[in-house]
């Protein structure tokens, strides 16, 4: 599979590294407005592929015509929120980056499946849809797998169980309004603790690193690539008939979203902020 990655920063380059090590791509193209960064990452990743005995084509460019007929394109491009900057401002700036990028993908890889990573995630799925004019079943946003993994860790810590066997998932918006669903018996207080810790998980990492998390977000994208390649269920931000996007469980294949798995919790997702911000993009 040919995988394009727009934005060769922390998450983009880690996605490439995981794709190479797990034999998930035959070709990888890195595109970044910072050409030097993309070139440097490409050279480093090419060397990594040789060390791992992987025969894979890796290139970097700013020329979108090289993104011809790719199967999957991941968008991580964008800016991170600066101090004092509102969510609205960030949404506007990143929507224009994601929008321009999406138009280019539509021009050169019209049959691709697009995975959005850029924040604010759910709104960026909408921005991609509006600008690419792709069918809704070809655009998915990465957040639910990441938030669910964070919730699993928090539940495991609280109940002293393995995070792998923790039965907990996160649906809805990729922000404080996320919705947690678990079959684990919990008191109200325990549930609230897990919810608070999961909501704050990203910000805690950002405080420590001075930048947002990247290993886990990259791994979550790669999980989505695997589900596209081999078929499988994952949680992703997907658009509904009203052009509102939030995290739902979906069945994926090489054709895109095959099915949305219905769940009562979708009805309790608060979409008011999304609708308000969407109008300003
Ligand atoms: O759960 C999730 N979806 C997320 C999302 C979890 C963590 C971080 N999340 C967001 O992903 C984060 O808030 C950012 O919006 C993106 C990418 O995060 P990353 O940590 O990879 O950011 P970097 O390292 O700053 O990389 C972004 C790259 C950088 O190299 C820029 O030069 C490039 O994007 N960039 C562009 N490339 C191409 N074209 C344009 N216009 C452009 N603008 C910036």
Which helix (H) or strand (E) segment holds residue 179: the answer is strand 179-182
Per-residue tokens: 275? 């609708």
- CA-closest residue to ligand 1 atom 14: 118
Q: 148: how many CB neighbours lie within 10 A of its CB?
A: 23
Displacement of CA 14 from its chain's centroid (Å)? 13
Mutation test residue for ligand 1: of 10, 76, 149, the one with most atoms within 8 Å of CB: 76
CA distance 116 to 162: 30
Look at residue 14 in the predicted model and tell me its pLDDT: 98
CA distance 12 to 14: 6
For residue 249, report the distance from its CA to the centre of ligand 1, in Å: 24
Q: Of the listed 174, 223, 248, 278, which one is catalytic? A: 174
92 contact partners, CB below 8 Å, separation of at least 6: 280, 281
Per-residue tokens: 118? 């850029």
Cβ of 97 below 6 Å from ligand 1:
yes
Whether the predicted pLDDT of 118 surpasses 80 = yes
Backbone angles phi, psi at 197, to 5 degrees: -65, -35
More confident residue, 88 or 136: 136
Residue 84 banded pLDDT, cuts 50, 70, 90: confident
Ligand 1 nearest-atom number relative to CA 142? 3
Cβ of 217 below 6 Å from ligand 1:
yes
User: 194-253: per-residue pLDDT in tens?
Assistant: 999 999 999 999 999 999 999 999 999 999 999 999 999 999 999 999 999 999 999 999
Active site residue 174: yes
Cβ of 215 below 6 Å from ligand 1:
no
User: 164-175: per-residue pLDDT in tens?
Assistant: 999 999 999 999
Q: 266: how many CB neighbours lie within 10 A of its CB?
A: 17
Percent of the chain with pLDDT over 70: 100
For residue 253, report the distance from its CA to the centre of ligand 1, in Å: 26
Cβ of 121 below 6 Å from ligand 1:
yes
Look at residue 75 in the predicted model and tell me its pLDDT: 98
Once rounded to an integer, what is the mean pLDDT over residues 71-80?
96
Look at residue 226 in the predicted model and tell me its pLDDT: 98
Cβ of 4 below 6 Å from ligand 1:
no
- What single string gives the DSSP state of each residue in 57-76? EEEEES-GGGSTT-SEEEE-
Q: Which one, of 60, 97, 59, lies nearest residue 77 by Cα?
A: 97
First CA to last CA distance, the chain = 33
Whether the predicted pLDDT of 37 surpasses 90 = yes
Q: What is the mean pLDDT of the chain?
A: 96
């Amino acid at each position: 599979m040919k995988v394009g990655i727009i934005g060769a920063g922390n998450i983009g380059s880690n996605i490439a590294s995981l794709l190479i090590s797990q034999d998930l791509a035959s070709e990888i193209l890195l595109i970044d407005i910072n050409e030097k960064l993309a070139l440097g990452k490409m050279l480093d990743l090419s060397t990594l592929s040789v060390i791992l005995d992987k025969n894979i084509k890796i290139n970097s460019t700013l020329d979108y015509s090289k993104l011809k007929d790719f199967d999957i394109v991941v968008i991580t491009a964008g800016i991170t929120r600066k101090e004092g900057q509102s969510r609205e401002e960030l949404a506007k700036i990143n929507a224009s980056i994601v929008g321009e990028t999406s138009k280019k993908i539509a021009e050169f890889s019209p049959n691709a499946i697009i995975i959005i990573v850029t924040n604010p995630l759910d709104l960026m799925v909408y921005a991609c849809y509006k600008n690419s004019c792709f069918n809704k079943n070809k655009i998915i946003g990465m957040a639910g797998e990441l938030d669910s993994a964070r919730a699993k860790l928090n539940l495991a810590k609280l109940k002293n169980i393995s995070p792998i066997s923790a039965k907990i998932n996160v649906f809805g918006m990729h922000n404080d309004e996320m919705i947690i669903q678990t079959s684990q018996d919990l008191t109200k207080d325990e549930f609230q603790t897990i919810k608070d810790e999961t909501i704050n998980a990203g910000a805690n990492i950002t405080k420590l690193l001075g930048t947002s998390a990247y290993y886990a977000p990259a791994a979550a994208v790669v999980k989505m690539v695997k589900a596209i390649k081999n078929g499988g269920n994952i949680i992703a931000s997907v658009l509904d008939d009203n052009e509102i996007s939030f995290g739902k469980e979906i069945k994926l294949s090489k054709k895109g979203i095959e099915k949305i798995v219905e769940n009562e919790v979708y009805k309790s997702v608060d979409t008011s902020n999304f609708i308000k911000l969407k109008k300003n993009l």
